[in-house]
Structures are given as structure tokens and as C-alpha cells.
Amino acid sequence: MSIDLNALSAKELDALINQAKKRKNTLSKRKPIAVVRKKLTALIKAEGYTVAELFGGAAPKADKAPGATRKSTKGYKLGKVAPKYRNPANPKETWAGRGKQPHWLAAYTDNGRKLEEFLIK
């Protein structure tokens, strides 16, 4: 928010200062978000619910059980997987079935061949 203070009169500046002081006073009376979040989480658990059940979103990180599974792997490395598909023209080229199809496989499938033809038995 940007206010051009040079364009305001003395009366308008006083009104703006009063508004800012009221807002600052209101904010200073509030408890920190972490404290309120902790109280809410404790109340939710005490009543036998989860944050996700009540609000439909994911629970805060502190509420998740250790070892809980992730829904997304973005930003995380996955373990190595054995290859599932092999290029018949160059057996050294393989694909595990993860991520984008390699160019050699995309070229074959674009020409009407089935993906199952390239499965490693």
C-alpha cells in the first residue's frame, strides 16, 4: 500500500495517523499466531478430530505423525527403479517408466507401436 503523503493536507495526515494508531493498538492486543495455532490444535486433538477433518486442508507440519506419507514428491529425490522398457535398436537405452518418455520411445509410439512391445521380460 502506497500513500502519497505529499498530497495530503494536515487534517488528512492527522486522520491517517489516528487510523494507524488504532490499527497498531488492535494488533498489539492480539496473541501471536503460533500461540493461537497451538491452542486450536490442542483443542482439536482433545475433541478427537484432525485439522484436515475440520478445515479440509492439510494439518500443520507439527501435527503430522512422524513417517507420514507425502502426497507430492516435488523437491524430493525418489529411489532408483529397475528399468521397465528397452530400446530394441539400442539395448543400452532403457526407461523405468517414471517422468517424461524418452525420445526413442515417443518416436516409436507416435508411429503406432504399443508401449507394451518394449517391456523388459
Spell out the domain ranges in the chain. Answer: 8-63, 72-121
pLDDT top residue among 6 and 76? 6
Q: What is the pLDDT of residue 72?
A: 73
Superfamily name and number for 72-121: Histone-like protein H-NS, C-terminal domain (4.10.430.10)
Confidence of residue 61 (pLDDT cuts 50, 70, 90): low
Helix (H/G/I), strand (E/B), else coil: 118? helix
pLDDT top residue among 71 and 100? 100
Alpha helix ranges (H) inside 1-121: 10-29, 33-46, 51-55, 103-110
Q: What is the pLDDT of residue 66?
A: 57
Label residue 47 exposed, middle or buried (CB < 10 Å: 0-12, 13-18, 19+). Answer: exposed
pLDDT top residue among 33 and 71? 33
Task: Decide if 74 contacts 81 (C-beta within 8 A).
Answer: no
pLDDT score of 69 more than 70: no
